[in-house]
Structure 1
Amino acid sequence: MLEQKLEQIQTIFTEMEQALIAYSGGIDSTLVAKIASDILGNRALAITAESPSLLPEDLEDARIQAAAIGISHEIVQTHEIDNPNYTSNPVNRCYFCKSELHDTLKPIALQRGYPYVVDGVNADDLGDYRPGIQAAKERGARSPLAEVGITKMEVRQLSKQLGLPWWDKPAQPCLSSRFPYGEEITIPKLQRVGRAEIYLRKLGLTNLRVRSTGDTARIELPSEVIKEFILTTDLPSLVSIFQDFGFVYVTLDLEGFQSGKLNRVLTANIVS
Structure 2
Amino acid sequence: MQIDLLDQAPVQLAQPDLAALPLVEKQARLLAQLRELGSALVAYSGGVDSALVLAVAVQTLGRERVLAVTAVSPSYPSWELEACERFAATLGARHEIIATHEMEDPNYVRNSADRCYFCKTELYDLLLPVAQAHGLAAVLNGLNWDDLGDHRPGARAGVEHGIISPLKDAGLTKADIRAWAQTLGLAVWDKPALACLSSRIPYGTPVTLDTLRQIDVAERHVRDLGLRQVRVRHHGTLARIEVAPEELDAAFALRQQVDAGVRAAGYLYVALDLRGYRSGSLNEGIAHAG
TM-score range, shorter chain: over 0.9
Name 1:66's counterpart in structure 2.
88
Q: TM-score, with normalisation over the residues of structure 1? A: 0.94
Whether 2:266 is the aligned partner of 1:250: answer: no
**1:205-241 per-position Cα deviation (integer Å, ceiling 9, x unaligned):** 01121000112111112334323432x3251x54333
Q: What letter is aligned with 1:112?
A: H
Whether 2:189 is the aligned partner of 1:167: answer: yes
Name 2:46's counterpart in structure 1.
25
5 Å-filtered alignment, 1:69-218, equals: 69-218=91-240
Q: What letter is aligned with 1:201?
A: R
Larger displacement relative to structure 2 (249-258 or 36-45): 249-258
**Corresponding residue SS for 1:154:** helix
Q: TM-score, with normalisation over the residues of structure 2? A: 0.88
Mapped to 1, the partners of 2:179 and 2:249 lie a distance apart of 30
Mapped to 1, the partners of 2:273 and 2:204 lie a distance apart of 21
Q: What letter is aligned with 2:46?
A: G
**Corresponding residue to 1:34 among 36, 55, 67:** 55
Q: CA deviation at 1:255?
A: 2.0
Q: CA deviation at 1:201?
A: 1.1
Q: What letter is aligned with 2:199?
A: S
Q: Percent identity?
A: 45
Q: What letter is aligned with 1:247?
A: Y
Residues 222 and 258 in structure 2, CA contact (< 8 A), matched pair in contact too: no
Q: What letter is aligned with 1:20?
A: L
Q: How many residues align?
A: 267
Name 1:3's counterpart in structure 2.
24
Higher normalized helix content (fraction of residues): 1
Q: Structure 2 regions of 5+ residues with no counterpart?
A: 1-21
The 1:224/1:7 distance shift into structure 2, 3 A limit, reads closer
Mapped to 2, the partners of 1:191 and 1:25 lie a distance apart of 20
